Amino acid sequence: MSANAAPRQTPAPDIAAIKAKQKITWEDGDYAGFCKFMEAGALEILGGWNIGRDKTLLDIGCGSGQTAIPAAKNGARVTGIDIAESLIAHARRRAREAELEIRFDVGDAEELPYADASFDTAISLIGAMFAPRPERVVAEFARVLKPGGKLYMANWTAASMPGQMFKCVARFVPPPPGLAPPVLWGDEDTVKTRLAQDFTDLRLTRRMYPQWHYPFDAAELVNLFRAKFGPVKKAFDLIDPQQQEELRRSLEHIYAEAGETANGVLTITQGELLEVEATRR
């Protein structure tokens, strides 16, 4: 490049294409089956948020209803939204079986289909952190919450097992350039900056994901992720057999290092989260 040549600029990411791929990815596999091993921990996290009865609650990135359904059982008036149609269909079935009145919508955390100041509480357990434009997500959090409303999030940190897993997968299937890594939602300084304008009374707490057990070893856990967890399944589908074997070995090492095995049960001990609690100004 000559001294006078303009530096090459990274093209702006194609957000529509990225979201379309995200939708396909999260609908792949069987996340509803995959997350059953994490439901006890989700209940414990939800219980710690102390959401009052009769509160209007929006669960953003609700998946198959892991937090929305128990919140409704506890008396909240719940709406859940997720980008994956298959997960919303599963959540609706679960709500019907439990005879609960919950509204579940297919939608986008960056463009929530709700009126301003609609909710007393918004929650996101490892959901909204994956939306590609965090500034849009924060704006939507603020828009749909009532003044004084509460925001609760739980987001993987970079050091967590999932954070390391996504970093590993990215070596084989790189993410689109120009996007902020989702694990920045697990960084205190980043979260403070993102929420500063519209939220106050921030409480940021690091903790490990509780009660995270698998009744098999790390090698079998790779098989579970490969079969049921969309982002890992999609990565394996996109690479050649030699790369698949390299990815398999790398993930098995990550899972083994992040857990402890006793009596045939693998317990993940490095599932670090940043819990976020904030109040709408």
Q: Is residue 245 part of a domain?
A: no
Range 116-152 burial, b when 16+ CB lie within 10 A, else e: eebbbbbbbbbbbbbbbbbebbbebbbebbeeebbbb
Q: Is residue 256 part of a domain?
A: no
Q: What is the pLDDT of residues 155-175, one digit of tens each?
A: 999 999 999 999 999 999 999
pLDDT band at 280 (very low <50, low <70, confident <90, very high): very high
Pick the residue with more confidence: 13 or 278? 278
Q: Is residue 93 part of a domain?
A: yes
pLDDT at 40 over 60: yes
Q: Is residue 9 part of a domain?
A: no
Q: Is residue 240 part of a domain?
A: no
CATH number of 34's domain: 3.40.50.150
Strand order in the sheet with 213-214: 213-214, 265-268, 259-262
Give the CA radius of gyration of the chain.
19
Q: Is residue 239 part of a domain?
A: no
What does the mean pLDDT of the chain come to? 96
* Cα–Cα dist 49/275, whole Å: 10
Q: In terms of residue numbers, what domain contains 149?
A: 16-160+175-212+270-280
Q: Is residue 154 part of a domain?
A: yes
pLDDT band at 5 (very low <50, low <70, confident <90, very high): low
Q: What is the pLDDT of residues 120-134, one digit of tens each?
A: 999 999 999 999 999
Q: Is residue 66 part of a domain?
A: yes
Provide the number of structural domains found in the chain: 1
